[in-house]
Amino acid sequence: MTSLLDGIQQARGSGDLRASIETVPYFKWLGLEVELREDELVTILPFQDMLVGNPLLPALHGGVTGAFLESAAMISLIGAMETVKLPKIINITIEYLRSARPLDSFATAVVTKQGRRVANVRATAWQDDRDAPIAIANAHFLIA
């Protein structure tokens, strides 16, 4: 079984991203996918009815959007560093910019600063228009 850590770090070669993502039960349950697009890890949350938090609009649950950004931040961080341990999240600030509609969502993240013990990661999520993000997040991870 490919671990999340190994799978993502080997993805730049020909690692099996799907298998490594599915080692995390929560990612598998959410249906998360990860693709390497032009040297950028893109985390994908395919739409499912069970992700809806406001059936009237309808809109994705805000907590799901937050969980998605946190996951994308961690996945991109693992991809960017040569870590031997899973990063542990310290905190995250999620800023909601637009209502997340019942569509597939995409997210990328950049490691803003990587120190010896802590990494700062900024993640952005969008749906049909990358220039109109639905939410952004800033997170700190313990990497020591």
Q: What is the binding site for another protein (CB under 8 A)?
A: 23-30, 49-55, 60-64, 66-68, 70-71, 86, 88-96, 99
- Tell me the closest approach of the beta carbon of residue 91 to another protein, in angstroms: 4
Contact 72, 64 (CB under 8 A): no
The smaller minimum CB distance to another protein, of residues 21 and 41, is found at: 21
The smaller minimum CB distance to another protein, of residues 95 and 104, is found at: 95
- Tell me the closest approach of the beta carbon of residue 53 to another protein, in angstroms: 5
Contact 4, 24 (CB under 8 A): yes
- Tell me the closest approach of the beta carbon of residue 113 to another protein, in angstroms: 18
The smaller minimum CB distance to another protein, of residues 88 and 130, is found at: 88
In 1-144, where does DSSP find H-type helix? 4-10, 17-21, 25-30, 62-80
- Tell me the closest approach of the beta carbon of residue 25 to another protein, in angstroms: 4
Which among 129, 79, 138 is positioned nearest to 104, based on CA atoms?
Answer: 129
Cis link prior to 102 (omega < 30° from 0)?
no
